[in-house]
Structures are given as structure tokens and as C-alpha cells.
């Protein structure tokens, strides 16, 4: 990753593919998007052109509620580039209200074992990251 | 087709040195293990018609050694690759595709000499949906389900720490182990936090080393006995779940462990009570806990107490990771080769921390971060009914 204007290392920047572009277009607009299978109704993440449950390619994008729960996490003590000011920080898996889970970070709350309680309610927020925005989560009801 | 007792491991050896070996490249570590395994089998390069390797291409290994193989297996699915190579070799030999397969591992995991660079493709699923969230290597990703496991099963931090304690007890008996001083649960919990809930002593070593195996048909092994007793391949399994640890179906269970081990147990016809010795890939302390439960040695939520009570320690009823494991013996990166080496040593009766009367040994490997798995049920001639 190239350093920012201040010479500090930048955080890892994802590069969309044609198949995942609608997801990243959504995050840039402040929307968390999922795909749902037409025939079987399964909602899934990460983006793919076919339903991983039934194999149908009749899948459509939809806007997710952005609500979820803290499913599990670690607290990383070794900063990745760009995370130096945040260490130690949680790398979390959030279970979305629609069912799918995704890796993310938790903001707006101390990243400590005491404050990060499994199954706590979260809501999505977005962190600008180069050409895209990365989904992060904050405690439900807190403001960004 | 079953491969139950149709093939044997007739040669097995680790590199002459393991640990910190900066004078050998990754490729040379493959070759060193290969030469030593062939010598162990009483065979030469000319006997080998099949080559399997991970980390380096089997073609690179074969050519470097001077072999022109007519069977190659480049299955590279992380640390369990070598167990899967044994499975594939057993099937290929049994089907008549080849006769003598050399399986090699070599990794300059610590010194990084001649080692392939570690790169993350920012457009891959991992690059888009995991790497942006700040992981810094396996210690910060592989254990991501542990807190969920604790919530759902009652596993305690002390029980998790006891995995490292139990394995250090074995390592204390193994001269080649990197760390041999016995430790306590308090020592583990006082060690540096790497990625909560994992402390430094709950994370594997990072070392250089390698090893190789020679697999051939049981018929050939019996017709042309080598210097060492053959170790029979009684059952094999492999499975893959997900390349993204964040996409595990259940963070408290490994589907790959379950599917792979069930296949191996079924093929071998053994029951859990038949198992005298167990190796479970321990890149991190939670893996033996998942392994004991997913393989069915204990019930849900029982593995932590089972290990803490000493049942896998020296003198316990299920000796596990008797070389000290990735936590204390060595861990080159793709550690699975060392699981098989220790199973073979125990079955031959030549292990440093030898367990009495080992007839059946199970080796359970993991690839990536709960990405894949390979299982071998290995046995003596007696266990194979020979």
C-alpha cells in the first residue's frame, strides 16, 4: 500500500472485480448490499454470480438493513499498515440480520473484551478507503 | 475403491536439522528430506516414479533431485497437503498408476531463504473482504472463532492455555524440539497477548525444516522388505470448507475436520477405542480442542477439560502431539509433514517420546485457516491384519 500524503502507511485497499462492483458501489453510497437468490430466497455474502445454496444464477442485489450482531472476534495487538493508531483493535465477524456473516471492524466502542460482548447489536457504518469505502460496524443506536 | 492396507509408508525422514537453518534454501530442504527418506526406505532415486510436493512444485523437486516422474501431485492446500498426498498416492498406487511415490516438504519459514513471497491479491475474495480489516497473519485470523467457541461450549482461557502446557510436557522429552522447558497455565496466560484471546505461547513456532515420505504398495513392501517395518495406510480422508475463515459455516466446528476424519475412520474400519496415538495439527492451541471434538474423541464442550486433566499428556489415555507439536517442536508453515513423521516414528517404536504399544495412529491435518483438512489412519502390520 502506498503511503498517504503525510507519509504514513495506508490501510489495505480492496480492488473490486466486475462481479463485486455493485457491492463496492453500494458502500460508496452508504449502502450495505447483499445478494438474494430468486428461486430459493437465500441471502448470501461474499458477492458471487450464483447462489451457493442452490446453484441458481438468478440472483439479485438488495440493500441490507445494516443491522447485525457481533458473532465473534479477536483483538489484534500487531498493527497492520495504517492501523498503528488503533492497536489493539478488533477484527470481528458480524452476523447480519438477513443471515450472512462478514468480517469487519467495530468502531464507536472501546475494543476491549469487556466492551465487546458477543451478540451485541451493531449497525453498519462506512470508512473511506482510497477509491472505495469499507463497511465497519458500531453499537446499535450510537451515532457516527 | 478402498485403499485400506493396500499401501505402506516405507520411508520417512525429516531434514537433518530443523529450527533455524538459514544455510539451506526451501528447495534444498525438500531435497534433504527426500534423500534421507529414500535412505530410510533403502531405496534410490531410480526407484521413484511418482513425486508429490507442496510449497515447491513437484516438478521442481523432481528435476532438482534427478527424477523424471510419471506421476505428479501438486496438491497445495496448506499444511495438510502432505496427508492428502499420501491419500492420492495410495489411490494411484492401488490403481496401478505408479509404484513408488516420494512426498516432500521443505520450508524456510523462519529464514525465508529461497521462499516464495507472501502476497495478498487485493482483488481476491480474501483481499476484498478480509484483508481490509487489519489482519496481520494467521495469529490474527485463524483463532477468530475461539471466543464463539468459549461462549457456546464453556471452554475457559485456562483450558485453552493447558494445550500448550500438555504439549510442552511431550517436548521436554524430545531433544529435537525447539522449546523444552516445561511451562504452567500461568506462564501461558502471562505471555504476550498476540491476538486476544491468544497469547504468544498459544501460537506456533516459526521455523525452517522439512521432511519426506516414501509410499509404495503393500505387496512391494512385503516382497522387498526395507530396513524399517512398513507403516500401513489403513484409512484416508480429505475435505475442504472455505478459503475465507470468516465464511466458516459454524465457528465452533470444522466441517473439513469432520468430513475428512469420518472418511478415514470409515475406510479403516477402526473405532476411536482402537486409536493408540493421535496427532492433531496445532498451529494454534485451539486446534487440538476442535480436533478432539470434531473427530469424535470427546463430546461437545469436553475437549478443554480433557486436555487440562492430562489425558493427552505423557501417561494419559490418548497421547496426542507427542513430538511437542507446532507449539513446541517445530512449525515451518505447512506443518502437516511433521504429523505423519511422528505417527510413523511412534508406529515403528522409534519416537523420542515413545508411547508403549502403538498399533494405530491417527494424524489430522488442517490446511489454511480451517480451509481444508486431511486425515490418515496409519497402523502396524499387526493392525493391518498382516
Spacing of C-alpha B357 from chain mean position: 22
The residue with greater pLDDT, B52 or B2, is B52
CB contact under 8 A, B194 and A77: yes
> Quick check: A5 pLDDT over 60?
no
C-beta of residue B27 within 8 angstroms of C-beta of residue B56: yes
Q: Percentage of chain A surpassing pLDDT 70? A: 94
Using a CB–CB cutoff of 8 Å, tell me whether A72 touches chain B.
yes
d(CA A100, CA B128): 16
Q: What is the pLDDT of residue B117?
A: 83
> Quick check: A84 pLDDT over 70?
yes
> Quick check: A44 pLDDT over 50?
yes
- For the stretch B338-349, pLDDT in tens is 999 999 999 999
Query: What distance in Å separates residue B300's CA from the closest CA in chain A?
Result: 19
Taking CA atoms, B38 is separated from B24, B72, B110, B208, in Å, by: 19, 17, 26, 21
- For the stretch B156-173, pLDDT in tens is 999 999 999 999 999 999
CB contact under 8 A, B134 and A71: no
- Partners of B377 in the β-ladder: B235, B362
DSSP B319-376: -B-TT-HHHHT---SSTHHHHHHHHHHHHHT--TTPPTT--EEEEEEEETTTTEEEEE
CB contact under 8 A, B128 and A134: no
Query: Which residue is associated with the grid cell 473439513?
Result: B256
* Phi, then psi, of B151 in degrees rounded to 5: -65, -45
CB atoms under 10 Å from CB of A30, counted, come to: 11
Burial class for B284, CB neighbours closer than 10 Å (0-12, 13-18, 19+): buried
DSSP A36-53: EETTT--EESS--SS-TT
- For the stretch A92-105, pLDDT in tens is 999 999 999 999 99
> B interface mutation test: which of A43, A72, A136 has the most B CBs within 10 A?
A72
CB contact under 8 A, B151 and A105: no
Burial string for A46-83 (b: 16+ CB within 10 Å, else e) reads: bbeeebeeeeeeebeeeebebbbbbbbbbbbbbbbebb
DSSP B255-303: HHHHHHHHHHHHHHT--GGG--EEEE--SBTHHHHHHHHHTTSS-TT-H
C-beta of residue B15 within 8 angstroms of C-beta of residue B21: yes
> Quick check: A2 pLDDT over 90?
no
Using a CB–CB cutoff of 8 Å, tell me whether A46 touches chain B.
yes
d(CA A2, CA A113): 32
Spacing of C-alpha A73 from chain mean position: 13
Query: Which residue is associated with the grid cell 447480519?
Result: A96
d(CA A47, CA A57): 12
Q: What angle do CA B363, B70, B48 make, to 5 degrees?
A: 60
> Quick check: B301 pLDDT over 90?
yes
In chain A, what residues touch B143 (CB-CB under 8 Å)? 74
The mean predicted confidence, pLDDT, of chain B is 97
Fold of the B7-114+205-379 domain? Peroxisomal Thiolase; Chain A, domain 1 (3.40.47)
Query: What distance in Å separates residue A88's CA from the closest CA in chain B?
Result: 8
> Quick check: A1 pLDDT over 60?
no
Burial string for B112-138 (b: 16+ CB within 10 Å, else e) reads: bbebeeeeeebebbbbbbbbbbbbbeb
Strands B7-14 and B208-217, by their bridges, are: antiparallel
Among partner residues A14, A78, A79, which is closest to B194 by beta-carbon distance?
Answer: A78
Q: pTM of the prediction?
A: 0.97
Taking CA atoms, B89 is separated from A9, B286, B301, B341, in Å, by: 47, 30, 36, 16
Q: What is the pLDDT of residue A6?
A: 63
- For the stretch B191-242, pLDDT in tens is 999 999 999 999 999 999 999 999 999 999 999 999 999 999 999 999 999 9
**Complex prediction ipTM:** 0.96
* Phi, then psi, of B160 in degrees rounded to 5: -60, -45
The residue with greater pLDDT, B91 or A8, is B91
Residue spans per domain, chain B: 7-114+205-379
- For the stretch B63-80, pLDDT in tens is 999 999 999 999 999 999
* Phi, then psi, of B187 in degrees rounded to 5: -60, -45
Residue spans per domain, chain A: 21-139
Among partner residues B129, B192, B251, which is closest to A72 by beta-carbon distance?
Answer: B251
Strands A67-76 and A89-96, by their bridges, are: antiparallel
Strands B50-53 and B360-367, by their bridges, are: unpaired
Q: What is the pLDDT of residue B116?
A: 81
Q: What is the pLDDT of residue B149?
A: 98
C-beta of residue B77 within 8 angstroms of C-beta of residue B241: no
Strands A67-76 and B193-196, by their bridges, are: antiparallel
- For the stretch B8-50, pLDDT in tens is 999 999 999 999 999 999 999 999 999 999 999 999 999 999 9
- Partners of A6 in the β-ladder: none
CB contact under 8 A, B128 and A72: no
Closest Cα in chain B to A17: B123
Burial class for B270, CB neighbours closer than 10 Å (0-12, 13-18, 19+): buried
Amino acid at each position: 500500500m502506498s503511503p498517504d500524503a503525510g507519509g504514513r502507511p495506508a490501510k489495505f485497499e480492496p480492488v473490486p472485480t466486475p462481479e463485486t462492483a455493485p457491492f463496492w458501489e453500494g458502500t460508496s453510497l452508504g449502502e450495505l448490499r447483499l445478494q438474494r437468490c430468486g428461486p430459493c430466497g437465500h441471502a448470501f455474502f461474499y458477492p458471487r454470480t450464483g447462489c451457493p445454496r442452490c446453484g441458481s444464477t438468478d440472483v439479485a442485489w438488495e440493500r441490507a438493513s445494516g443491522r447485525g450482531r457481533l458473532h465473534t472476534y479477536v483483538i489484534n495487538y500487531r498493527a497492520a499498515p495504517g492501523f498503528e493508531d488503533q492497536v489493539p483493535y478488533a477484527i470481528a465477524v458480524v452476523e447480519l440480520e438477513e443471515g450472512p456473516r462478514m468480517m469487519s471492524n467495530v468502531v464507536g466502542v472501546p475494543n476491549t473484551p469487556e466492551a465487546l460482548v458477543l451478540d451485541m447489536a451493531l449497525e453498519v457504518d462506512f470508512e473511506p478507503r482510497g477509491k472505495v469505502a469499507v463497511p465497519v460496524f458500531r453499537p446499535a443506536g450510537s451515532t457516527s | 475403491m478402498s485403499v485400506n492396507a493396500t499401501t505402506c509408508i516405507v520411508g520417512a525422514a525429516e531434514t537433518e536439522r530443523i529450527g533455524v537453518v538459514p544455510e539451506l534454501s526451501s528447495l534444498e530442504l525438500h531435497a534433504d528430506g527426500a534423500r534421507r527418506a529414500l535412505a530410510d526406505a533403502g531405496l534410490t532415486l531410480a526407484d521413484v516414479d511418482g513425486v508429490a510436493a507442496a510449497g515447491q512444485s513437484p516438478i521442481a523437486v523432481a528435476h532438482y533431485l534427478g527424477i523424471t516422474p510419471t506421476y505428479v501431485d501438486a496438491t497445495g492446500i496448506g499444511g495438510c497437503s502432505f496427508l492428502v498426498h499420501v491419500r492420492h498416492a495410495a489411490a494411484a498406487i492401488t490403481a496401478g498408476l505408479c509404484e513408488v511415490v516420494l512426498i516432500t516438504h521443505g520450508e524456510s519459514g523462519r529464514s525465508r531463504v529461497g521462499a516464495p513471497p507472501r502476497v495478498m491479491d487485493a482483488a481476491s475474495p480474501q483481499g476484498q473482504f478480509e484483508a481490509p480489516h487489519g489482519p496481520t497473519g494467521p495469529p490474527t485470523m485463524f483463532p477468530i472463532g475461539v471466543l464463539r467457541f468459549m461462549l457456546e461450549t464453556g471452554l475457559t482461557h485456562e483450558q485453552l492455555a493447558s494445550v500448550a502446557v500438555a504439549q510442552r510436557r511431550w517436548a521436554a522429552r524430545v531433544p529435537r524440539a525447539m522449546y523444552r522447558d516445561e511451562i504452567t497455565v500461568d506462564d501461558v496466560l502471562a505471555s504476550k497477548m498476540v491476538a486476544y484471546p491468544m497469547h504468544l505461547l498459544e501460537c506456533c513456532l516459526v521455523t525452517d525444516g522439512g521432511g519426506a515420505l516414501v509410499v509404495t504398495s503393500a505387496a512391494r513392501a512385503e516382497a522387498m522388505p526395507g530396513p524399517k517395518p512398513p507403516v500401513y495406510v489403513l484409512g484416508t480422508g480429505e475435505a475442504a470448507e472455505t478459503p475465507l475463515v470468516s465464511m466458516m459455516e459454524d465457528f465452533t466446528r470444522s466441517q473439513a475436520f469432520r468430513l475428512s476424519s469420518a472418511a478415514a475412520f470409515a475406510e479403516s474400519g477402526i473405532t476411536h477405542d482402537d486409536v493408540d496415538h493421535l496427532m492433531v495439527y496445532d498451529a494454534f492451541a485451539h486446534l487440538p480442542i476442535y480436533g478432539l471434538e470434531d473427530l469424535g474423541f470427546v463430546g461437545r464442550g469436553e475437549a478443554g477439560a480433557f486436555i487440562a486433566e492430562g489425558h493427552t499428556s505423557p501417561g494419559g489415555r490418548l497421547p496426542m502431539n507427542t513430538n511437542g507439536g507446532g507449539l513446541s517442536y517445530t512449525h515451518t508453515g505447512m506443518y502437516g509433514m511433521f504429523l505423519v513423521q511422528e505417527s510413523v516414528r511412534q508406529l515403528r517404536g522409534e519416537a523420542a517420546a515413545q508411547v508403549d504399544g502403538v498399533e494405530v495412529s491417527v494424524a489430522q491435518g488442517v490446511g489454511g485457516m480451517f480451509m481444508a483438512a486431511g486425515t490418515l489412519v496409519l497402523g502396524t502390520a499387526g493392525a493391518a491384519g498382516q
